[in-house]
């Protein structure tokens, strides 16, 4: 589905669906934000904050780091509010949040990022024997940040592959490949069999 696909998000009425078409009331809130109204911006934080925080937590695997990333996301959004035109702020905030999350992870885990890179170019990922099968939580820990971001957006936020690619600023084919690799890795780590199509 195209970029305008809405993204039904599971998890209760308090979770806002990122990707919905902007309703007029939200448009007025954004207009007030552009005028520098901080109370209006807090409404935006209330509306999108929880969803962004949950997504960042899935990617970063660390509550404090996720909170830092979401804080930076909203501060940048506030500074750039003038650049947001008549569009739903959800995907826009998502893009900023993804960028901040991946940057935050790289800052915190410079060494780990280096080993991930070496792993990619060098000896490949460490394989897990059948005796070492992991549950999904631990298997997710073993993905790269970029893979986790793709998985979180596609499988948690239910974004289409196209929208996931857009949020992470990569070509659609790259995203397809990234999701496929991530899924294969998760199957390997958890010992799940792939069902032929």
DSSP class per residue in 32-70: HHHTT-HHHHHHHHHHHHHHHHHHHHHHHS-HHHHHHHH
| CA separation for the pair 30, 80 (Å, rounded) | 12
For other proteins, the closer of residues 85 and 137 by Cβ is: 137
For other proteins, the closer of residues 66 and 102 by Cβ is: 66
Shortest distance (Å) from residue 109 CB to other proteins: 14
> Angle between the 24-34 and 38-60 helix axes, to the nearest 10 degrees?
100
| CA separation for the pair 138, 116 (Å, rounded) | 16
Q: How many CB atoms are closer than 10 A to CB 8? A: 11
For other proteins, the closer of residues 41 and 92 by Cβ is: 41
Round the CA-based radius of gyration of the chain to a whole number and report it: 18
- Binding map of other proteins across residues 118-157, x = CB under 8 A, - = no contact: -----------------xxx-------------xx--xx-
Asked whether position 63 contacts other proteins by CB under 8 A, the answer is yes
Residue reference for tokens 């804080």: 71
Shortest distance (Å) from residue 49 CB to other proteins: 4
Local structure of residue 153 (DSSP, 8 states): I
- Binding map of other proteins across residues 93-122, x = CB under 8 A, - = no contact: ------------------------------
| CA separation for the pair 153, 122 (Å, rounded) | 28
For other proteins, the closer of residues 23 and 141 by Cβ is: 141
Site for other proteins (CB under 8 A): which residue of 25, 121, 124, 195?
A: 195
Under the rule (CB under 8 A), what is the footprint of other proteins? 10-12, 14, 37-39, 41-42, 45-46, 49-50, 53-55, 57-58, 62-64, 67, 70-71, 74-75, 78, 135-137, 151-152, 155-156, 183, 186-187, 190, 192, 194-195, 197
């Amino acid at each position: 589905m195209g970029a305008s696909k809405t993204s039904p998000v599971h998890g209760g009425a308090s979770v806002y669906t990122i990707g919905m078409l902007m309703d007029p009331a939200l448009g007025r809130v954004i207009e007030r934000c552009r005028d520098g109204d901080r109370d209006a911006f807090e409404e935006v934080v209330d509306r999108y904050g929880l969803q962004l925080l949950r997504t960042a937590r899935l990617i970063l695997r660390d509550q404090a780091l996720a909170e830092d990333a979401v804080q930076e996301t909203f501060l940048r959004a506030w500074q750039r509010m003038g650049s947001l035109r008549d569009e739903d702020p959800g995907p826009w905030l998502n893009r900023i949040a993804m960028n901040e999350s991946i940057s935050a992870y790289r800052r915190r885990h410079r060494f780990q990022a280096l080993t991930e890179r070496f792993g990619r170019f060098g000896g490949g990922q460490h394989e897990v024997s059948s005796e070492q099968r992991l549950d999904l939580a631990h298997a997710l820990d073993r993905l790269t940040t970029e893979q986790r971001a793709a998985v979180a957006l596609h499988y948690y936020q239910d974004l289409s592959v196209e929208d996931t690619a857009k949020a992470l600023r990569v070509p659609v084919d790259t995203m397809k490949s990234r999701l496929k690799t991530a899924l294969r890795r998760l199957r390997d780590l958890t010992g799940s069999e792939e069902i032929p199509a």
